[in-house]
Amino acid sequence: MSNGVILPGATLGVLGGGQLGRMFVQAAQAMGYATAVLDADPTSPAGLVSHHHVQTGYLDAEGLARMAQLSAAVTTEFENVPAQALDTLAATLPVAPAGAAVAVCQDRAREKAHFTGCGVPCAPHAVIETAAQLAAAGDDLLPGILKTARMGYDGKGQIRVKTRAELQAAWDELQHVPCVLEKMLPLAFEVSVIVARARSGQVVNFPVQRNLHRDGILALTTVPAPGVSAELAAQTIASARKIAASLNYVGVLCVEFFVLQDGSVVANEMAPRPHNSGHHTIDAFDVSQFELQVRTMTNLPLVEPVLHSPCLMINLLGDLWFEPGSSQQREPDWAGVLALSGTHLHLYGKHEARQGRKMGHLTVTGATLAAATEVAQQAAALLGIEPF
């Protein structure tokens, strides 16, 4: 290490062994680093391709000590890794992002308070931790969505409510855990911005991405983002950078925004890591979100990413491995998809396909967005994915 830079040849650690960890490991290895993964699952996607796989829980003292021994620096794969594990490792080596920043992202109430504190608008909401707070929540928040404050992702831990009776029933169903009631807003579409921030405070970002969700799970990301004006792009990028700076953030951060029908914008949520909506950066940019994750944790210089191909990224869920309306398994038509020009298939090495499980993604690049969209629609038809 010189001038705080951790050079290739060192070992980089990641807490979490899913697909985000796997793509981080692959990016680090391409740059010449060795890697260590901490994940209890012996068949975790990242563990299977890493130099070292520490098979323990996130708070296991021996596992964390082994990671500290192996690694020159450590990052995290997803926000539900306990912040305490990051804090433990930070006592002896660089950890990015810091546990304090991850802790804000783990709690919707703290997250919304942080947005507001940064001057970034978010949806009208109320924190509900007690029956009194439930009773005091304003009728103007209905219809709304009751979301668990912690551990919710991909549409989990969220219930739509139209009346006070439905709100009470939803809180009962969620077993009275701390929640946030968020007013439903007239949505035009959703976008996200991914930034990378160095210890020095240097920040770079990818262009705004337009996202389509189905059943609470990301289905499609399109870049350049259709229907996004230069003013809207500048506003969301400035907001994402402001949020990262106010967290004193080091690493890759994704902020999701709702664009409302009147053209206004509110922040929805943030993720302290590379994001599903940024997977296309592997194939469509000169530097991917995962390479920037490596650069931020090793104190290497950051470069502004350059888009070389318009693209669409399609999520590949476990549903594609089943005949429609049946439990009969099948293998999707990869040969047919890969016969199409500009297709880039990424499967995550998960051993079992399940409904709603993220099994991989397909990025389609083209000379123009129209050309890429046409091929993406053909690929979706071959895979049995509803047109978009």
Tens of pLDDT, residue by residue over 69-90, are 999 999 999 888 898 999 999 9
First-to-final CA distance of the chain: 48
DSSP string, 257-318: EEEETTS-EEEEEEESS--GGGTTHHHHBSS-HHHHHHHHHHTPPP----B-S-EEEEEEEG
pLDDT at 2: 56
Instruction: State the average pLDDT over residues 51-61.
Output: 97
pLDDT at 78: 85
pLDDT at 52: 98
Instruction: State the average pLDDT over residues 321-336.
Output: 91
Mean pLDDT, the chain, integer:
95
pLDDT at 326: 83
What is the total residue count of the chain? 388
pLDDT at 154: 59
pLDDT at 150: 86
One of 3.40.50.2300, 3.40.50.20, 3.30.110.30, 3.50.50.60 is the CATH number of 11-95, namely: 3.40.50.20
Confidence of residue 214 (pLDDT cuts 50, 70, 90): very high
- Three-state SS for 319? helix
Strands 11-15 and 73-76: parallel
Q: Is the pLDDT of residue 377 over 70?
A: yes
- Whose tokens are 């991405």? That residue is 209
- Which long-range contacts does 337-344 make (Cβ < 8 Å, 24+ apart)? 337/362, 337/379, 337/382, 337/383, 340/364, 340/375, 340/378, 340/379, 341/366, 341/375, 342/309, 342/366, 342/371, 342/372, 342/375, 343/375, 343/379, 344/282, 344/283
Question: pLDDT by residue (tens digit) across 101-150?
Answer: 999 998 999 999 999 999 999 999 999 999 999 999 989 999 999 999 98
- Dihedral sign (CA 316, 320, 325, 329): negative
Phi, psi of 19 (to 5 degrees): -65, -30
Asked if 273 and 292 count as a contact pair (C-beta separation under 8 A), the reply is no
Question: pLDDT by residue (tens digit) across 224-270?
Answer: 999 999 999 999 999 999 999 999 999 999 999 999 999 999 999 99
- For residue 249, the cross-strand partners are none
| Token pair of 352 as six digits | 């079992």
For residue 300, with 0-12 CB atoms within 10 Å meaning exposed, 13-18 middle and 19 or more buried, which class applies? middle
pLDDT at 158: 87
CATH tag, 187-383: 3.30.470.20
| Token pair of 299 as six digits | 């104190």
Which of 112, 114, 178 shows the shortest CA–CA distance to 148?
A: 178
- Whose tokens are 């609470």? That residue is 216
Question: pLDDT by residue (tens digit) across 268-296?
Answer: 999 999 999 999 999 999 999 999 999 99
Q: Is the pLDDT of residue 58 over 70?
A: yes
pLDDT at 75: 98
Enumerate the domain spans of the chain. Answer: 11-95, 124-183, 187-383
CB hemisphere CA count around 168 (13 angstroms): 7
Confidence of residue 152 (pLDDT cuts 50, 70, 90): low
How far from chain centre, in Å, is Cα 136? 33
Which ranges of the chain would DSSP assign to H, the alpha helix?
19-30, 45-49, 61-70, 83-90, 99-105, 108-117, 131-136, 164-173, 230-246, 281-284, 289-298, 334-338, 369-383
| Token pair of 1 as six digits | 């290490």
pLDDT at 3: 74
Confidence of residue 153 (pLDDT cuts 50, 70, 90): low
Q: What's the CATH fold of domain 124-183?
A: Dna Ligase; domain 1 (3.30.1490)
Which helix (H) or strand (E) segment holds residue 95: the answer is none
Question: pLDDT by residue (tens digit) across 173-206?
Answer: 999 999 999 999 999 999 999 999 999 999 999 9
